[in-house]
Structures are given as structure tokens and as C-alpha cells.
Structure 1
Amino acid sequence: MAMKEARVDPVKVPGSFVRLQGAYPGLRAAEQRVADFILAHPDELIYLTVTELAERTNTSESTVVRLCQKIGYKGYQEFKIVLARDLVEPATEIYAAIEPGDDLATVKSKVFQANAQALRDTIEVLEDEQLQRAVNALASANRIEIYGVGGSGPLALDAYHKFLKVGLQAIALSDGDLMAMSSSLLSPGDVALGISHTGASRDVTDALGRAKANGATTIGITHRHTSPITKVSEIQLFTAAKQTAFRSDASSSRIAQLTIIDTLYVGVAHAHHDRALAMIERTREATASKRY
């Protein structure tokens, strides 16, 4: 069943809605009916009790409460409080489609707004527990392999560059055959990190699957909760960028993915503060002669 469009100001994407939309594909049918009502009638919802909402959606009170808990709230009352706050906050303009007549100043504004919105949205759906698991796994890994093809290839290299600076034994791969061979050699204690906006890259998904089968810990960074990569990722890190212009480029999602990589890097460095500082200084000194 397709998710219904929310009847809210289209230039406003508050945190509670981002969480609800991000969790939607994984909800049960009854929970989706509640979500559909919330997205379509947010102004009306804040005046409804949990019993009234259950009656309006032909569900139960427990279904309503379970939905609120799934998207990160203690219960229905806390969700209503956050929703009310989101509805009265000043609208945040998001990136509309770039039109043929737009001048460069308008294009600049739309692109910057889209990237900023992608970060605001992603921080709402990026689960702290999953992020902590990823940091722990990376910090203690014997070996780290990072997979990304196409537009995700440079992101894999960025992760490799950052992890290298803090002394992690990492490698970035973007060739399908090399990913297949290398992932087949991983073992318990190793980590495989796959990056794919769509989550449907066969090379990346197959490599993660092979790494998981060999006992390595697998981490996936993706946009889609129901994509193939999630089936082979023990740890799942999601972005929430909204594409409205050049959709196939997933440009805003790339900014969110880079920021997740930055967070992993800083998280690992923070976990081993003194050692990380020493490694960073050593790598900086190693390249000092290459700068003017």
C-alpha cells in the first residue's frame, strides 16, 4: 500500500514527520493506517485522545502506542507534544525542483537548502543505538573493508581516508570482482561497510552477504529501509534526504552519507582519544613535505 501524502505545508518537514515517513515501510498494516491518518490530519490529531485515534483508524490503543514507540517516542502523549511543537515552528524551506528559468543564485539557494535539509532529516532517522554499534565494531576491527560503486565509490574512499588517519586497518573497494574476492577472505573480528543510496547495488550487497556468511560484522549506509542491502547488514545506518531535482544523482543523500562517515570517524577517534591524536599527528607529519 502506497504511503499517503501528508497534508502539511510542503515547505515544512518537521522531525516527527521525518521519523514517521522513514519508519513507514517497516510498519504493520494496522500501524500504517494510523500513520496514514497522522500524515493526512496532523492538525486534527493533536486534539484526539489515544482512544479516539484508535477508533478513527479502526485499530487499537496498543497499536497507536506501539507505533509511537517504533519512531522513538515513549508513547502517544510524548509524540503529540513533539508534533504540536513541529507544527508551530517556523517553516523550513526545502529544495524545490530546479526550473529551466532559474538563475544561478536561485540554483545555489535550492542546492544549499536541500543539503541542509538532508542533514536535518537524517539526524531524525539515524538511530543512536545502531550508530554506537557501528563505532564499537569499527574501533575493535582487525580489518575493515569499505564497498561502494558508482557515485558511492568516492564515499568509500573518503571513509578509507578518514579511518586510515586514526590507524584503522581499512581498504576501499569499488570493483565488483575485487569486492567479491576480498569479502570471501574476511572472518570474525573483521568489518565490512557497504555504501549504497538505493541499497540495490548487487556488487555491494553480494559482498556484504559474503562477508556476513564468513562471520564478519556488516554495516550498511543507505536511504531505503526495505532495500536488499538491509537484508545483509547487521548494523543499518539510514539517510533521509529528499530528492526533487536531479533524482538519479542522489546529491543530497551523498551529503548525509558523508556526514554519517564523519560521525563514525569522530566516534572511533573519541573512543581511543590519545591513540587517535597520535595517529593523526603521525599521518600529518608524513605528508608535511608535500605541502608548500
Structure 2
Amino acid sequence: MNALNLIKQRFPGMSSAEKRIADVILRDPKAATGMTVNFLAAAAGVSAGTVVNFANSLGLAGFTALKINLAQNLEGFTGFSFDDVESTDSPKTALHKMAENACASFRDTLTMIDEKTLAAAARLLMEAKKIELYGAANSALVAEDAYQHLMRIGLPVYAVTDPLVSRISASHLGPGCLAVGISHWGRSRSTIEAMRTAKSRGAATLCITSYPDSPLHKLSDVGLVIVSSEVGQRREAWVSRLTHLLVLDGLCAYIGAQRGVSSIEMMDEASLLIGSQQEGSGL
């Protein structure tokens, strides 16, 4: 079965919601094969469940099956794309493509990100009496990494990545505190709820995301938006995650340099503590 032809055939008799989904797919079938169900739903102005039901109505077992069918029936199909890596590529070629995509994202983000916005983000981090970092799934790893770096230079920072705890923890923030939300899509429910709670308590809000029109960005006092070819196209935000880390590492390096001797002493002490712990454990 060719799902693309079937969509065209059934289009006249579809409901208005189904036609909006079909329009997104027919406009660019190749792009549709790289979309998540949530992204396609947002593009069509429907719910994710409606997209799944649309796929089922075509006789397919869900949205993933629809994407596979579309890809297999596209002219020139050679394999599914993971950041442009194809099934025919060697491991070295895959690594090369990932490195090229990461470098492009780094360069584009450096070009597009506003210096005043970066300065505002750094100021919020340096002046906050308490900082909480929120992130879910892959963004939880970014939050934990940022916590390790910012903590070592002496900032009063905590990473709260448990979705059941984050909102409670955010409720303890107040004026002079900072809530930092990290999310590729900017739509993580637990992160948004924590940020909204912190903001209601008078805390400042800062976000790192890939989508400027996301709920997280709109909720934040200061928003840092990275640039990546994955935006709207990829199932896994691998390169975007690296770029989120880069932005946070850049801020950490800047703040460490501004704090000078204080941060150096903190990092030296951390190194000594880690070294003594490793010697004691025999590592």
C-alpha cells in the first residue's frame, strides 16, 4: 500500500481535521517522515491523538507505521535519516556527518544568538541567591551537566530533574531566585509547570530551548534559543543537546572568568576533593 496515494485518494471525503493533517504531509512528504507526532500535530493544529487516529484510518498501525510507509514510497529512498546518517553509511561517515551537523549548529547559534540576551542570562545567574535547573528526559542530562559546572565555580545551584519534585521545589523559590528551564521542544509539561510555579512566587526565569515560539520561551524572562537543522525534523535531538550544552558551558566559562580568584579556588578545592576520594576508593 502506498499511503501517500491513499491520502490523495481519500482527501475529498476527509474531515476538516484530517484534511489539515493531510495538507502538512502532502506539502512535503519527505519532511513529514522526520517529524514527531507532536510536531506534525502542532503544524496541523490538531491533537497528537488525532494524528494517530488519522494513521489508523489508513489501515496502518500508528504514526510510526505511517512515516515508514511514506519513506518507503518516496523516490530515491535509501534509508531512514538520523541527522542525515543513512543505512548505507560507514561508522566513520556517520561520525563525520554528526560532527559536521554539530559544527554547523554551533556556528549558526553563535551567529544568531543575541549578545544582550546572553549578557542578561549571565547577569541573572551571577546575581541569583538560589538557582534551580529543570529538565526532563534528554534535557535532564543537560541540567545535570550544567549543575556540575556551575556548582564547581561556586554558584548556589541545584538540578531538579524529578518531575514529581520539580514543581514542589520551585514553590520554595522567591524574589532574588532564578528558575532555569531546559527543553529542546520547549513543551515539557513538568518543566513548564515548575517554571510557572517559580514565576508565580516571584523568581526570575531563564530558558534554553530550540523553539522561540514554544510555551517555555514565552514564559521566560530571558530566553536563549539555539539553531539546529533538527528543529522540526528529527525524532532525537542529538545535535541540539550538544548545542544546549555549549551555550551553558559558554555562560559558565564567562561567569568563572568574571568571578576570578573565587572561582579558581572553588575549582581547585573540588579537584582536591575528587582526587582524595579516588585515592581512597582505589580508582
Q: Calculate the TM-score normalised by the size of structure 2.
A: 0.67
Are 1:272 and 2:272 matched, yes or no?
A: no
Aligned to 1:222: 209
Are 1:143 and 2:139 matched, yes or no?
A: no
Give the Cα separation in 2 of the matches to 1:243 and 1:225: 14
Give the Cα separation in 1 of the matches to 2:127 and 2:160: 21
Determine which of 88, 97, 100 is the counterpart of 1:110: 97
Aligned to 1:242: 229
8 A contact 1:166–1:276 mirrored in 2 = yes
Structure 1 window deviating more from structure 2 (102-111 vs 196-205): it is: 102-111
Q: Secondary structure at the match of 1:226?
A: coil
Determine which of 192, 217, 220 is the counterpart of 2:179: 192
Assess, with a 3 A threshold, how the Cα gap between structure 1 residues 126 and 171 changes in structure 2: closer, same or farther.
same
Determine which of 115, 128, 132 is the counterpart of 2:115: 128
Give the Cα separation in 1 of the matches to 2:184 and 2:235: 10
Aligned to 1:176: 163
Aligned to 1:63: none
Give the Cα separation in 2 of the matches to 1:166 and 1:150: 26
The CA deviation at 1:247 is 1.4
Assess, with a 3 A threshold, how the Cα gap between structure 1 residues 99 and 256 changes in structure 2: closer, same or farther.
same
The 5-angstrom pairing of residues 89-108 of structure 1 reads: 97-108=84-95
Aligned to 2:39: none
Task: Output the amino acid matched with 1:116.
Answer: C
The CA deviation at 1:243 is 2.0
The CA deviation at 1:140 is 1.5
CA-to-aligned-CA distance 1:78-110 (integer Å, 9 cap, x gap): xxxxxxxxxxxxxxxxx9622211111211111
Structure 2, unmatched stretches of 5+, are 1-81
Give the Cα separation in 1 of the matches to 2:85 and 2:268: 43
Give the Cα separation in 1 of the matches to 2:94 and 2:248: 27
8 A contact 2:83–2:234 mirrored in 1 = no
Aligned to 1:204: 191
8 A contact 1:147–1:172 mirrored in 2 = yes
Q: Calculate the TM-score normalised by the size of structure 1.
A: 0.65
Aligned to 2:106: 119
Give the Cα separation in 2 of the matches to 1:238 and 1:227: 10
Regions of 4+ moved over 4 Å: none
8 A contact 2:210–2:231 mirrored in 1 = no
8 A contact 1:186–1:211 mirrored in 2 = yes
Task: Output the amino acid matched with 2:121.
Answer: A
CA-to-aligned-CA distance 1:132-163 (integer Å, 9 cap, x gap): 11111111211110000001011000011001
Structure 1, unmatched stretches of 5+, are 1-94
Aligned to 2:41: none
Assess, with a 3 A threshold, how the Cα gap between structure 1 residues 244 and 96 changes in structure 2: closer, same or farther.
farther
Task: Output the amino acid matched with 2:190.
Answer: D
8 A contact 1:97–1:245 mirrored in 2 = no
8 A contact 2:108–2:227 mirrored in 1 = yes
Give the Cα separation in 2 of the matches to 1:223 and 1:188: 27
Assess, with a 3 A threshold, how the Cα gap between structure 1 residues 115 and 245 changes in structure 2: closer, same or farther.
farther
8 A contact 2:230–2:237 mirrored in 1 = yes
Are 1:262 and 2:249 matched, yes or no?
A: yes
Task: Output the amino acid matched with 1:197.
Answer: H
CA RMSD of aligned residues (A): 1.9
Give the Cα separation in 1 of the matches to 2:196 and 2:152: 28
Give the Cα separation in 2 of the matches to 1:245 and 1:125: 18
8 A contact 1:96–1:244 mirrored in 2 = no
Q: Percent identity?
A: 30
